[in-house]
Amino acid sequence: MTKTASVHNIAAPTVTELVNRARELAPLLKKNASASEANRRVEEETIEAVRKAGLMRVCTPRRYGGWEMNTRAMLDVSSALAEADGATAWVVNLNNICSWLTSLYPVRAQDEVFGSDPDACVSGVLNPTASVKKEGDGYRIVSGTWHYNSGGWHAQWAVLGFPIVNDAGEMIDQGNALIPMADLTREDTWFVAGMKATGSICLKANDIFVPAHRIMSVPQAIEGKYPTEMRDEAFYRSPFVAILAIILVGPILGLGRAALDFVRQKASSRTIAYTFFEKQADSVAFQLQLADAALMIDTAHFHAYRAADDVDQAALRGVYPDMLTRARVRADTGYVVEKITQAIDKLLFAHGSAGFAEASPLQRIWRDAAVASRHAVVLPPVGYELYGKALLGVENTVTPLI
């Protein structure tokens, strides 16, 4: 009998309950934010609190005591956390999506990760930056270096890209290897302007063996062909690239809301220097800036949730979205980060230079959003080009990640 055969009677919370738990943690996240930045990793007190709140189980199968939710749930939970701290939200979000990735592997591999710990943390990098050779029914990673593993300090496992080769050493496929963190070396390389506390470190491998059941073909996954035997679990039928892309905007949405809320709260107590206005709230110019930023943030949410619904509905129906839909999800992803970063910039103009004081949370929101929005998978021009080609029926010569 496999570990998955055991019945977990833990009552699953609703998404609303998880969001409320995330917001209840806000005082702790804000208290620890500065120390997390200084140490360049989320404080362990924070990590333990989000684990205890069940926020690391959003994507873990119910078979193991997880919540097995959906894309919208990831957006809701991560954005609620980001209202207090963007880095914590990013780490939790990336752990959750890597737990989803883990749930695509054969049950034997899933058992190894979640069988004894439904709160197991998994980090991941899909770039195939490793040297390998075929060995028996698996592969030996001779050497490998992977940047950037968000939450790598807290993870027990990692999903890492590598080239699949034949006996002659020729690359014939691209794979993802599920590797215990104990087999890897952590290297602290994360020195950045924003999202400082995500601990997005480098992982290194040296002469480790990965068995066949912990290997997944990326091209097959992009086509929706996953090695899991659990075909009746709808969430794990979600389109591969689409879900990996759109969930990245969850923390960014929360940062946008946090910036808007902060500037609104201060509007009645701040003057506008070198003007007759004793309160920003009395200025029509300020009102226009605030309204424009709020509408940008609203628009970003509309696009994010449309994309999430596309992903979730396809998974429920058991269908693989067509090229046009998948391209639109990539474009929606880019549009979200573009609108949020524009809105935060406008809010900084409206609030004034005090927003750049080290004591102000606004400057950290700005830095975190700016860095998160430059993740390669969310870059707006790439998403727009993919969507434009799909709209015109032009061949995709941009990326296989669609």
CA–CA dist 100, 60 (Å, integer): 6
pLDDT confidence bin for 106, thresholds 50/70/90: very high
Residue 137 · residue 130 · CB < 8 Å: no
Average pLDDT score over the chain: 96
pLDDT surpassing 80 at residue 213: yes
Across 147-163, average pLDDT: 97
The pLDDT value recorded for residue 210 is 98
Query: What percentage of the chain carries pLDDT values higher than 70?
Result: 98
2-6, 51-55, 72-76 — which is least confidently predicted?
A: 2-6
3-state secondary structure of 161: strand
For residue 232, how many C-alpha atoms fall within 13 Å in the half-sphere facing its CB? 2
**For strand 122-125 and strand 157-165, is the pairing parallel, antiparallel, or unpaired?**
parallel
Q: CB-based contacts of 59: which residues, under 8 Å, 6+ apart?
A: 66, 67, 68, 69, 74, 96, 97, 99, 100, 103, 235
The answer to whether the beta carbons of residues 272 and 283 sit under 8 Å apart is yes
Alpha helix ranges (H) inside 104-246: 107-114, 218-222, 240-246
Report which secondary-structure segment, H or E, holds 342.
Answer: helix 323-351
Give the tens place of pLDDT for each residue, 226-279: 999 999 999 999 999 999 999 999 999 999 999 999 999 999 999 999 999 999
Tokens of 232: 């009746």
**Per mean pLDDT, which range of 83-87, 167-171, 285-289 is the poorest?**
167-171
Q: Is 354:270 a contact under the CB 8 Å cutoff?
A: yes
Tokens of 140: 């030996």
Q: Strand pairing partners for 217?
A: 175
Range 234-265 burial, b when 16+ CB lie within 10 A, else e: ebbbbbbbbbbbbbbbbbbbbbbbbbbebbbe
- Residue 76 and residue 86: Cα distance in Å, rounded? 13
| pLDDT tens for each residue of 16-52 | 999 999 999 999 999 999 999 999 999 999 999 999 9
Running DSSP on this structure, what letter comes out for residue 182?
G
What integer pLDDT is reported at residue 8 of this predicted model?
54
Provide the Cα torsion 265, 55, 307, 260; round to 10°. 10
